[in-house]
C-alpha cells in the first residue's frame, strides 16, 4: 500500500507521541487520590487534545510533515482521518467523564460547560469538513478557521478540571502546555500568516494560450528560478478579483529558466476564471514545490498513465528532456483526440526517441483505459496521474492482476474526500465480514 510505504515515518512518529502522552499521565502524581478509571478517561481527553494538535500541525504543510508522510496528499489523508479519530474519542470521553475525580479550581467561566461547547463545536465543524466536496472552497476554509475555538475551549476545560496539575512545571504540565502552544501557533499561522509567508515566488503572467477547448496554458515570468523536480506541483495565488488570493494547487507543466508553465482545464469557478479573466501582466505568487511523483527518482523502465489534464506532470518532465536514458511508455487517456493537450508534441517525441513510446486511448471509441491495455512485459515502474475515479479503478485492477507491481500515483482532493473515504471504508468492512 503506497500510503503505508510513504508515510511510515510519520505514523511511527505520531504513534510515539500518543504512547509518550499516555505514559506521562500514568507516571505522574495526581492532586487527588483516584482510581485508574479516572486516569484512563483523562488520558482519553488528553489524546483528543494531542490528536487535534497534530491535525493543526499537519494543516501547516511544512517541510517536516511533508518529509514525515512522503507527500502532501498523504499529509492531507492523515489530517482527515486523524480529525475523525479524535472526534470519535470526543464521544468516548464525553460518555465516560463521570468516572473522573475532578479537582475544581477557581475559574472565570464554567469549565464543565466549556467541555460541552468544545464537543458540540468539534462535531459541527468536522461535519462541515465532511461536506467540503460539496462546498465553495473559500466558505469551507472560513468554517475551518473556527476549529481553534473548540480546541481552546477543550484546553480550558482540561486545565480547569483535571485532577493533575497541568499548569505546573512537571513533565506532564510542560508537555500539555507545549501541545497547546503548538496547536495555537499552527492555527494562527494558517489563519493569519500562511498566505503572506508561504508564497515566496513572485511573478507576472507573460502569456496565455489555449491548446484545446476549455484548457488554458499560462506562462509566468518569475523574479527568480523555481526550485522543483519535474512532476511536482505548487500552490498558485492571484490577489486581484475574482481570485482574491485564494490558493489552488496546480502541477507545473514546464520550466524554461525563470519562465514557468501551467496547463489548466476549466473544471470549476476558479479554473474558469483563470481561463477567462486572468490577463497578461497580472501578478501571481507561488509556494515552493510539493509532490513525490518525481520521475528521475524512480527506476527504469517506466509506464506512465495520464488521464485528462493529469498529463501535466508528465508534460513537465518531457519538456525538460532532450534525450531519454530511461525507457518510457506514456498512455494518455482522453474522451477523444480533440481533448488531448499537446498531442503533436507527444507524437513527435515518439518518432524522435527510441526510448519513448506514446499511446493515445480514446474512451469514446476504445472504452476506459484498463490494465489489460498496458504493456507490462518489462515489469516497469508504473506512474499514474488522473481523475480520482480513474486512479481508484486502475489501482483496484493492479491489485487483482499483480500485487507486486510497483505503482506511484497522485490523485487527491484539495478540500478532502472524507464522505467517499468513509463510505468506502464501511463498504470494505461490510464485505469482509458479510
Q: Write the CATH number for 49.
A: 1.20.120
pLDDT tens digit string along 308-347?
Answer: 888 999 999 999 887 888 899 999 999 998 899 999 999 9
In the chain, % of residues over pLDDT 90: 45
Examine the domain organization and report whether 226 and 161 are in the same domain.
no
Residue 73, pLDDT > 70, answer yes
Residue 173, pLDDT > 60, answer yes
What pTM does this model have? 0.81
Examine the domain organization and report whether 258 and 387 are in the same domain.
no
Query: What was the pLDDT predicted at 137?
Result: 62
Strand order across the 254-256 sheet? 248-251, 233-237, 283-286, 201-209, 215-222, 259-265, 254-256
Examine the domain organization and report whether 157 and 219 are in the same domain.
no
Q: Which three cell numbers stand for residue 83?
A: 480529525
pLDDT interval class at 431 (50, 70, 90):
low
Residue 58, pLDDT > 80, answer yes
Examine the domain organization and report whether 212 and 188 are in the same domain.
no
- Find which of 60-74, 90-104, 344-358, 376-390 is predicted with most confidence, using mean pLDDT: 344-358
DSSP β-bridge partners for residue 259: 221, 256
Choosing from 259, 286, 313, the residue where a domain stops is 286
DSSP β-bridge partners for residue 285: 202, 237
Residue 304, pLDDT > 60, answer yes
Examine the domain organization and report whether 241 and 95 are in the same domain.
no
Domain range for residue 11?
2-197
Q: Pick the residue with more confidence: 144 or 139?
A: 144
DSSP letter string over 69-105?
HTSHHHHHHHHHHHHHHHHHHHHHHHHHGGGS-----
For residues 206 and 279, the answer to whether their CB atoms sit within 8 Å is no
Q: Pick the residue with more confidence: 229 or 135?
A: 229
Query: What was the pLDDT predicted at 186?
Result: 95
pLDDT tens digit string along 80-104?
Answer: 889 889 999 999 999 998 898 887 7
Domain count for the chain, please give it.
3
Examine the domain organization and report whether 318 and 392 are in the same domain.
yes
Exposed (0-12), middle (13-18) or buried (19+): which is 41, by Cβ within 10 Å? buried
Residue 17, pLDDT > 90, answer yes
In this structure, what CATH number is given to the domain that contains residue 424?
3.40.50.80
Examine the domain organization and report whether 378 and 415 are in the same domain.
yes
Amino acid at each position: 500500500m503506497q500510503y503505508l510505504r510513504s508515510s511510515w515515518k510519520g505514523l511511527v512518529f505520531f504513534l510515539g507521541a500518543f504512547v509518550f502522552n499516555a505514559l506521562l499521565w500514568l507516571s505522574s502524581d495526581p492532586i487527588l487520590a483516584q482510581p485508574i478509571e479516572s486516569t484512563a478517561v483523562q488520558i482519553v481527553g488528553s489524546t483528543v487534545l494531542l490528536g487535534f494538535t497534530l491535525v493543526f500541525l499537519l494543516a501547516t504543510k511544512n517541510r517536516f510533515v511533508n518529509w514525515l508522510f512522503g507527500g502532501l496528499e498523504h499529509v492531507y489523508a492523515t489530517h482527515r482521518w486523524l480529525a475523525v479519530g479524535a472526534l470519535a474519542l470526543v464521544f468516548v470521553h464525553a460518555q465516560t467523564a463521570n468516572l473522573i475525580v475532578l479537582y475544581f479550581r477557581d475559574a472565570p467561566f464554567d469549565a464543565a460547560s466549556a467541555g460541552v461547547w468544545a464537543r458540540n463545536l468539534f462535531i459541527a465543524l468536522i461535519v462541515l469538513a465532511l461536506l467540503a466536496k460539496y462546498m465553495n472552497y473559500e466558505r469551507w476554509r472560513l468554517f475551518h478557521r473556527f476549529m481553534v475555538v473548540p480546541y481552546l475551549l477543550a484546553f480550558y476545560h482540561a486545565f480547569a478540571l483535571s485532577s493533575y496539575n497541568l499548569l505546573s512545571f512537571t513533565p506532564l504540565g510542560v508537555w500539555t502546555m507545549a501541545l497547546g502552544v503548538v496547536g495555537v501557533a499552527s492555527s494562527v499561522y494558517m489563519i493569519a500568516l500562511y498566505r503572506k509567508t508561504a508564497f515566496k515566488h513572485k511573478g507576472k503572467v507573460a502569456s496565455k494560450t489555449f491548446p484545446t477547448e476549455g484548457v488554458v496554458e499560462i506562462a509566468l515570468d518569475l523574479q527568480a528560478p523555481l526550485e522543483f523536480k519535474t512532476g511536482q506541483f505548487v500552490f498558485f495565488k492571484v490577489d486581484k478579483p475574482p481570485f482574491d488570493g485564494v490558493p489552488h494547487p496546480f502541477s507545473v507543466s514546464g520550466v524554461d529558466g525563470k519562465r514557468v508553465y501551467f496547463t489548466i482545464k476549466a473544471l470549476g469557478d476558479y479554473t474558469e476564471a483563470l481561463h477567462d479573466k486572468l490577463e497578461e501582466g497580472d501578478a501571481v505568487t507561488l509556494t515552493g514545490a510539493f509532490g513525490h511523483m518525481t520521475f528521475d527518482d524512480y527506476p527504469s523502465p517506466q509506464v506512465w498513465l495520464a488521464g485528462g489534464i493529469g498529463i501535466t506532470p508528465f508534460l513537465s518532465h518531457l519538456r525538460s528532456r532532450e534525450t531519454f536514458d530511461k525507457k518510457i511508455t506514456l498512455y494518455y487517456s482522453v474522451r477523444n483526440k480533440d481533448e488531448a493537450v499537446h498531442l503533436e508534441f507527444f507524437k513527435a517525441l515518439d518518432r524522435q526517441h527510441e526510448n519513448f513510446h506514446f499511446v493515445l486511448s480514446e474512451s469514446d471509441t476504445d472504452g476506459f483505459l484498463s490494465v489489460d491495455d498496458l504493456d507490462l512485459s518489462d515489469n516497469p515502474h508504473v506512474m499514474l496521474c488522473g481523475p480520482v475515479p480513474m486512479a481508484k479503478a486502475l489501482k483496484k485492477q493492479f491489485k487483482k492482476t499483480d500485487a507486486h507491481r510497483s505503482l506511484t500515483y497522485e490523485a487527491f482532493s484539495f478540500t478532502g474526500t472524507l464522505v467517499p473515504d468513509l463510505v468506502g471504508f464501511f463498504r470494505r468492512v461490510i464485505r469482509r465480514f458479510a
